[in-house]
Structure 1
């Protein structure tokens, strides 16, 4: 019976503020400012990569889709001073990072990626591992119509899309009530507490506010429509 455990006397203990701060400071993305860490599931072919650079922390997910609600690719972009500025939203097509064709998002299905560090191929290993230092690159096919490469360097995240015909790139940004979001043709800036995220693209950037929220942020989707090819960059200043 569970009541034997329910009525037992339990000592209540709560960590002090100092103990909480000490534990939080040991979190990898806080304790270290430069690493590429990869985790691969032993049961399913899925790989999760965490990229920390002095100016940002990002998460990239790839592999076999285990649930229809999953969204792969760039799932999170975080700045150490102002927090998260990009977050892919589960079970959406209008607020998830990725390449869209007629409302269908490539990142809403299996994503078979290849990885490189400084142009050297990396084969994912089961378990949790730090990868060698250097620029981290992810490349994967967009069906049979093209491919997409995301490069994580110390200074920026560069994305290059090759796809036959017209497509739309979606970048889901998190906007707080006090943030300033501006677009100027091929450039977008999101300013928060004197830190600026800049999105620069080959083509004009259009903003679409969505119904989705994350905490006290609304999700604002940046749309970039292109034909055959597109490059864009995310950086902080």
Structure 2
């Protein structure tokens, strides 16, 4: 099963800045090199008390990091749907109707406005409440319906992060493996370094060694050197 990345318009739904890189950084590099369009819809960002050497990061610092990462990956566009401390780490108390509608039609990078061919969202197994709320809202926004009336992205995938494995139930293995070149993984690791308020030394779920180790594991499962894993919600061939 293959996909021609050069022909795709990709929309990534990221609860916070860095989630798109943690889950899809290698694919972003691979797809952009092939000629794809890549857009990132962040759901929220705000001031953050980080368990890191920085100790605290402001929304302004996070915006500056996004701009650097956007230039690094050459994104075609990005947007934050619900900025500010009223929403950051509080998406689970935002009415689902409002969150789903932003993804479906009310954002400049909504499904209706962008008409993407590939949509990527977080997996619902995450322990983070913002990730869970985003996953559920995307599930609603991309519900099956008559595609003559609503845009139906033919490929809908959920991405994984290393922290998702912290779960008391069985998290299924990714059903789709995207092979990465070493250059794709290096681009992912470089992007995480640009998220200076969020990257950590090992052992941590956002360390370079963790990201490389997960790519090696997924690559081994596909019989290649490196890969990223995705769960398939829709693949219309």
TM-score, with length taken from structure 2: 0.32
Structure with the higher fraction of residues in strand conformation: 1
Taking CA–CA contacts closer than 8 Å with sequence separation of 6 or more, which of the two structures ends up with the larger relative contact order? 2
Task: Using structure 1 for the length normalisation, give the TM-score.
Answer: 0.32
Higher helix proportion, which one?
A: 2
